[in-house]
C-alpha cells in the first residue's frame, strides 16, 4: 500500500482536509469553486452527452455510465453527475473530504460511492470506467506523468478522460496565483505553487502514450463584468483537455 500512494503529496492532503467542512457553503470559503463549477459541469454535460449519444438537455442523460471523479473533495462534481443518472465513484485521499461528501449526499438522497482512496488504489484493483475525471488534481500530484498514465489505463474502450488544471504561464502566475490568492483572496495562499502547474502538452503527451486520442482543449476564463466563468479559446490560465480511448 505504501508504494501505491507515491503520487500523493501529503502536505497537499493536509491542507485541503482543514478546509473540508466548508465545501458545500456557496458563500463560504469555497465560493470561488461554486462559481467555477457550472462552467465545467456544463462542459462535461455537453461533451459526455455528445460522445455517448445522449440528450444533453435531459435530467437522466448519464444513466448507465460509470464515472470516476479523482480528487472529489466535498463532492461538488460527483453529486451533480450522480443526479444526472451516472454511477459515480468519488475518490479522495483525504478521509475528511470523503466524510463531508458522504454526509451531504446522504442528506440530499443522492447515491455516490465515495472512497477514501487514491487513483492508484483503484487502478491496482483493476477498476475501469466510461469516464475518468481528473479536475484540478494534476497540479497537486507529485508525479504528473505517472499519475496520468495509471488513470488513463482505467478508461474503457470507447470511454472518455477529462483533465482540468491551470497552465504554467506568466499569465497564470499573475491571475491564478498572485491575483486569486493574494489580491482577491479567492483561494487560501499556498493553494497553488507555480512550479507545480502543468502545461497542456505535459498532459496530452502521457494520455496519447496510453493510447488515448485527443478530442478537445478548451480554456476557461473569468468575466468580471458578469461575475461568472465561461468557456474560451484562451487556455493560458484555466483549461480542460478531453481525450477518448478508441472503441
Chain residues binding other proteins by CB under 8 A are 26-27, 34, 38, 41-42, 44-45, 55-60, 79-84, 104, 107-109
CB of 92 to other proteins, least distance (A): 19
CB 86, min distance to other proteins, A: 9
Separation CA 179–CA 229 (nearest Å): 15
Question: Residue 44 or 212: which CB sits closer to other proteins?
Answer: 44
CB 202 within 8 A of CB 215: no
d(CA 158, CA 102) in angstroms, rounded, equals 30
Q: Find, among 139, 237, 224, the residue nearest to 190 by Cα.
A: 139
Q: Toward other proteins, which CB reaches closer, 38 or 158?
A: 38
Phi, psi values for residue 188, rounded to 5°: -60, 145
Widest Cα–Cα separation across the chain: 49
Which of 49, 59, 53 is CA-nearest to residue 67?
49
- Distance in Å, CB of 85 to other proteins, minimum: 9
In whole angstroms, the minimum distance from the beta carbon of 146 to other proteins comes to 31
For the CB of residue 175, give the shortest distance to other proteins in the complex, in Å: 23
Taking the least distance from each CB to other proteins, the nearer of 26 and 158 is 26
Q: Is 220 helix (H, G, I), strand (E, B) or coil?
A: strand
Separate counts of helices (H) and strands (E) for the chain? 8, 8
Amino acid at each position: 500500500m505504501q508504494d501505491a500512494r507515491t503520487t500523493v503529496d501529503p502536505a497537499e492532503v493536509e491542507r485541503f482536509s482543514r478546509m473540508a467542512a466548508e465545501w458545500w457553503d456557496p458563500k463560504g470559503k469555497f465560493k470561488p469553486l461554486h462559481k467555477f463549477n457550472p462552467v465545467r459541469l456544463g462542459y462535461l454535460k455537453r461533451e459526455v452527452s455528445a460522445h455517448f449519444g445522449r440528450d444533453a438537455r435531459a435530467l437522466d442523460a448519464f444513466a448507465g455510465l460509470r464515472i470516476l471523479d479523482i480528487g472529489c473533495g466535498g463532492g461538488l462534481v460527483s453529486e451533480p453527475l450522480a443526479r444526472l443518472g451516472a454511477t459515480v465513484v468519488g475518490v479522495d485521499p483525504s478521509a475528511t473530504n470523503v466524510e463531508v461528501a458522504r454526509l451531504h449526499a446522504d442528506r440530499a438522497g443522492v447515491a455516490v460511492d465515495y472512497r477514501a482512496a487514491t487513483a492508484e488504489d483503484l487502478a491496482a484493483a483493476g477498476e475501469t470506467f466510461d469516464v475518468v475525471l481528473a479536475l484540478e488534481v494534476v497540479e497537486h500530484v507529485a508525479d504528473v506523468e505517472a499519475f496520468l498514465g495509471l488513470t488513463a489505463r482505467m478508461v474503457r474502450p470507447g470511454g472518455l478522460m477529462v483533465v482540468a488544471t491551470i497552465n504554467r504561464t506568466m499569465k497564470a502566475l499573475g491571475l491564478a496565483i498572485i491575483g486569486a490568492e493574494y489580491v482577491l483572496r479567492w483561494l487560501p495562499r499556498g493553494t497553488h505553487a507555480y512550479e507545480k502547474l502543468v502545461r497542456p502538452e505535459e498532459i496530452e503527451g502521457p494520455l496519447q502514450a496510453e493510447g488515448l486520442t485527443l478530442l478537445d482543449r478548451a480554456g476557461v476564463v473569468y468575466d468580471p463584468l458578469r461575475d461568472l466563468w465561461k468557456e474560451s479559446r484562451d487556455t493560458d490560465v484555466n483549461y480542460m483537455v478531453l481525450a477518448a480511448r478508441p472503441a
